[in-house]
Amino acid sequence: MNVCCRKKAGVRMVTWHTPYNRLLHLSLFFAVLPWLYSYFNERHRIQSYSVEQALILSWDKVITQPTILFRRAVVGINCNVDLVVSATSLLERMNSTSNKRDDHQVLNNVDDLYEAFAYFFSRGAAAERSDLCAYRWERKIAIILRHTSDEKTFELMVHTAGESRQRPHYYIGGNAALMAEKIATAFPRTTVYLVGPIGPRSQALLHPSIVRTNSTRIVKDEVHVIMEYKQGEILGEYVAPASSRFITSHDQYSGSSVVIEMFFKAIAQFNPDLIILSGVHLLQNQNKEMRMEKLRLIKRNLMQVNPNIPIHLELGSIGDADHVAQVLSRIVPNVDSLGLNEQELAFFSHIAGGPYTDLYPIAPGAVHVVEMLYWLLTTYGHDKSDPESKNFKYKLSRIHFHSLTFHLMVISVVLTLHKPYAVKIYYITNPSNFLVIHLENYDIYRAFISCLERFQVYRGTDWSNLAAGLAAGAKVAGRQACQMTGGDTNTDNLELRSSMSFLLDKEVGKSYNFEPQKPIASWMRKDVVFIFTPVLVCKFPTRTVGVDDAISATGLIYSQFYRFEKAW
């Protein structure tokens, strides 16, 4: 008989070579075995994934629901119907007498339409970008927007495009309507209130859960004619070198004072916890005096909104330099969040004297984009660290940038001052509780902040859950362009068009090395935090209109906002 234990010098000794302990060893082994099998099987399964599948799986692990969800959102101010037709077929029916090419900024008649279209048709996705709204050249889908000043010419175009022989397709359009549509379909727990010119057809096309106001109903829809063509199509003596589209419109209501006033009235009535403003770019088609009056109206109302309600501005393509300058100085500093693409960012930098103005109109690379975003946020963004700064009362603290191959989320860190030199430190678990540290003078304040930086203490921001918002927006980009449904997991039509390694921020020496299992990179530059991810591109996009709006809307709903500082 084995002895399981014995006493030696007053100490109880345990003998491990007993049947009981061997049984314990076996039980431990069989308990660990399933875990080991699961672990190594999971690693083998991940290694068998394609780059695209591994990237999506990594995003899914990052995408988490916010603790505080936006329950009510007011969205405005542009809404229209997109009428999509074959460009060459439509122009053949329009009976233009011209055979020239010319870049008309405004279309006054059918000949102007033909000449402006032929100008871009013959160039396709050319490198020249001096047009009004050359958008997404790198996508090989150049979208050119022109305003038709003559109402009769535009009505003729809409009538001809709507003929059954043209095989027209109707979709909801306008940044505000598209963002409202995305929120309503993908986030049913958020109620959307849309303010914009809604006609009979747009009323039928909108998601039934979207709340609308009767005060902005119109008898006749605002229509944007989208003239699409494929690579190799022929128009007279011209051959299209790449697929593209040409958009023309004659908007009358989206930028009207009535719609703007109804938008801010809806904010007071609906009591939202998120406000989305878009359509400001449409004001560029109005004369300067009227445009300035509308911008003053928007700014005045923005400044009266409850500061605890975040305001997001979604930009559209702006080609008027004076309008860009006014939007930058009057509107951008008075919103909390901004959504834009590479063309809009590059034009902002070019007009306002930002970095790399000499590169415009060439599409900026990642290292250029980072520099421009840092300039934009520090120049027009929120800064509570210096009461004497002009940025002290600015609100902008979040930028969601999206291009074809990569997305960036940029936020400013809040350093809240109480009186001249004090810092509020918030508890992460309960932001309503905080500690105020009073400092003797500004030098001691800066020394204190330097200590926080040295020990990498997180200093707080109004926005959180941003990596989840960035990943969710990146995931939806390629899927929407390919029109993939929710349950479709096939990645054959998606591809990564990003280098495996490149420089992101030369100021801090931040480089990016792609790993499918860890695609998201983040870093801090002074008081600005950057979050970066590559994006999967749709190889054969079937519908690109509204992709940017879907990205921004998704990123917003996954983000979380809590205003740390109060009005002192």
Can you tell me whether residue 14 is helix, strand or coil? Answer: strand
Residue type, 191: T
Alpha carbon distance 490, 479 (integer Å)? 10
CA distances from 134 to 129, 178, 192, 557 (A): 6, 21, 31, 29
Residue type, 69: L
Alpha carbon distance 198, 205 (integer Å)? 10
549 is catalytic: yes
Pair type for strands 5-8 and 11-14 = antiparallel
Pair type for strands 142-148 and 106-107 = parallel
The C-alpha R_g of the chain, in whole angstroms, comes to 28
CA distances from 253 to 175, 285, 305 (A): 14, 12, 23
> Which residues touch 245 (CB under 8 Å, ≥6 apart)?
87, 141, 142, 143, 144, 226, 227, 228, 229
Alpha carbon distance 403, 42 (integer Å)? 33
Which residues, listed in sequence order, are joined to residue 212 by a DSSP beta bridge?
194
Cα torsion for 437, 442, 443, 449, to the nearest 10°? Answer: 50
Alpha carbon distance 459, 110 (integer Å)? 59
- Please name which of 533, 465, 537 lies closest in space to residue 504, comparing C-alpha atoms: 533
Alpha carbon distance 318, 285 (integer Å)? 10
Q: State the catalytic residue, choosing from 82, 112, 383, 549.
A: 549
Alpha carbon distance 83, 545 (integer Å)? 12
Catalytic residue set = 549
